[in-house]
Amino acid sequence: MEHTAKNTVIGFIGTGIMGNSMAGHLLGAGFPLHVYSRTKSKAEELLSRGAVWHESPASLAEQSNVIITMVGFPSDVEEIYLGDSGIINHAKPHSYLIDMTTSSPSLAQRIEKAAAEKGLFSLDAPVSGGDVGAREAKLSIMVGGLLETFDAMLPILNIMGSNVVYQGSAGAGQYTKMCNQIAIASNMMGVCEALAYAQKAGLDPNTVLKSIESGAAGSRSLSGLAPRIINGDYAPGFYVKHFIKDMNIALQSAKEMNLDLPSLSLARSLYERLVEMGEEDSGTQALFKVINRHSSS
Amino acid sequence: MEHTAKNTVIGFIGTGIMGNSMAGHLLGAGFPLHVYSRTKSKAEELLSRGAVWHESPASLAEQSNVIITMVGFPSDVEEIYLGDSGIINHAKPHSYLIDMTTSSPSLAQRIEKAAAEKGLFSLDAPVSGGDVGAREAKLSIMVGGLLETFDAMLPILNIMGSNVVYQGSAGAGQYTKMCNQIAIASNMMGVCEALAYAQKAGLDPNTVLKSIESGAAGSRSLSGLAPRIINGDYAPGFYVKHFIKDMNIALQSAKEMNLDLPSLSLARSLYERLVEMGEEDSGTQALFKVINRHSSS
């Protein structure tokens, strides 16, 4: 069955900053939208545009054909999918379940197994691109699960993202998202150390960027976040506390695969120091404060 | 005095892969060119195009108005500039000295001081852009020294580079190049760890790149070197042994400034392990082999 706005009810769980924009695009595309969120006020805008409110994930699941989740932590994902009053116990047969939360690959595999036993189809489909990507429907969406399930859901995923890529079996979406976070974590250390060094050496960091950002040291973090650091702007594009969550997932899954990631381990320890400094609600670029503190003069 | 091809003899010391291309552009611009290199055969092409060979830096210095050096290690720079039969003891008064080797900031400061005492003008002007940047005259050149000296030499530097930036007083060029290397070192760890994780997770790394290289994890190293790693291509764009030299300079200068760089320290230790594996003549992307070895299954 092709999933069009005419025959598909979408249930969306988790209408935070990201989820709100993503669900809004589905509503805009004409899909009947049912929503649940831990904090109802965060769904108000969607409700005013015609979305239907539910008091529980179970109630939402019972009335949807496609259920999309965008929540916080793996523990939330686990409860919402696998809990007694969770999605899998309450979804209609043949429903599609798409978890877009950044969560653990092994949990995604457990969800798929539990879903399949009930005749449900599931995908793990975490995103990158942040609040701006969500707002502009330009997310990168990394998808794991059965290829047929991916094909069936692609038209819906394309409404929220501009780079929707099938990565393999259940968990592959989450594994891919972890690759993304692993690359970012070390690069952020490099950007912060380069800036701390520049400052200590008495250089003008903006002039340094003119020399280095278009060359081999060039990166999205260097061009996007170094200017914020230079301006003392530590407002969150991406929260420190969420980045630590992701690094924990990556390190746990790496451990399960017998893979040692020394640089990611170092990054996590430096970010934990940042939390001790009271910066968990800052943006990830605040790592600069830890590096700079290493300076002893 | 404006330095044009009509009134300026350029002496170029160090005609390796980089120096050969750089000196070739100066010759092409019409400057009388004198050359010295440790291995004469590496200068043959320039000699065949009309460059004048010298048997020693001293002899070259005595006949040049502008002396450019592009050699290997800080110890080479020190000897060529400050040794008894070095440039500073033999250059004509009012000569200009430009060291384009990646070398130590404090050595650049010592050279400037010694040069000034003899009425000579000096710049530290290391480059990035590699062999391709040198060949295409598209180097990024980061310059430290007196602003008037920079202004006088800018027309000559512009013949070799497309992004020539004045960074500040003596040593500032080297400090800036270190910022570049510091940013690259950590990013390389992130790229290698992300790829090792992808491989362990059974993902197709090329498909992973499709998801992550245009987003927040995007970088020149990810787009440029990850594909080589995936193809098992460890040929040197930039040698491991030279990168270690640069990291040593960066860490030494950071220490002099009381700045601790934990991520760069980790990168150096991993690259040292790579040398123990016999990979010092591989390209920097060979770091993947160390990360992959950390895997114990």
d(CA B215, CA B283): 25
Q: How far is CA A177 from CA A70, A121, A223, B33, in A?
A: 14, 21, 21, 54
Question: CB-based contact (8 Å) between B208 and chain A?
Answer: yes
Q: What is the mean pLDDT of residues B67-85?
A: 97
Nearest to B212 among A180, A216, A262 (CB): A180
Which CATH code of 1.10.1040.10, 3.30.70.20, 3.20.20.80, 3.10.420.10 fits the domain covering A175-296?
A: 1.10.1040.10
- Token pair recorded at residue B84: 């008894």
Question: CB-based contact (8 Å) between B17 and chain A?
Answer: no
Please give the CATH number for the structural domain made up of A10-170: 3.40.50.720
Question: CB-based contact (8 Å) between A252 and chain B?
Answer: no
d(CA B143, CA B204): 43
d(CA B213, CA B231): 17
Contact at 8 Å (CB) between A189 and A267? yes
Is there a common fold for A10-170 and A175-296?
Answer: no
What local confidence, expressed as pLDDT, does residue A290 receive?
97
Query: Residue B297: pLDDT above 60?
Result: no
Instruction: Name chain A contacts of B221, Cβ cutoff 8 Å.
Output: 216, 219
A 71-130 residues inside an 8 A Cβ radius of B: 105, 128-130
pTM of the model: 0.96
What local confidence, expressed as pLDDT, does residue A297 receive?
45
- Token pair recorded at residue B4: 């044009």
Residue B296: pLDDT band with limits 50, 70, 90: low
Q: Which residue has the tokens 């160090």?
A: B14
Contact between chains at B262 and A178 (C-beta distance less than 8 A): no
Question: CB-based contact (8 Å) between A14 and chain B?
Answer: no
Domain residue spans of chain B: 10-170, 175-296
Question: CB-based contact (8 Å) between B148 and chain A?
Answer: no
Say how many CB pairs under 8 Å bridge A and B.
283
Average pLDDT per block of 10 residues along chain A, 297 residues long = 82 96 98 97 97 97 98 97 97 98 98 98 97 96 98 98 98 98 98 98 98 96 97 96 97 97 98 98 98 70
Residue B119: pLDDT band with limits 50, 70, 90: very high
- Indicate which of A143, A189, A230, A242 best probes the interface with B, i.e. most B CBs within 10 Å of its own CB: A189
Q: How far is A125 from chain B (nearest CA, A)?
A: 12
What local confidence, expressed as pLDDT, does residue B216 receive?
95
Q: How far is B188 from chain A (nearest CA, A)?
A: 8
Contact between chains at A212 and B260 (C-beta distance less than 8 A): no
Instruction: Name chain B contacts of A210, Cβ cutoff 8 Å.
Output: 163, 165
Contact between chains at A261 and B176 (C-beta distance less than 8 A): no
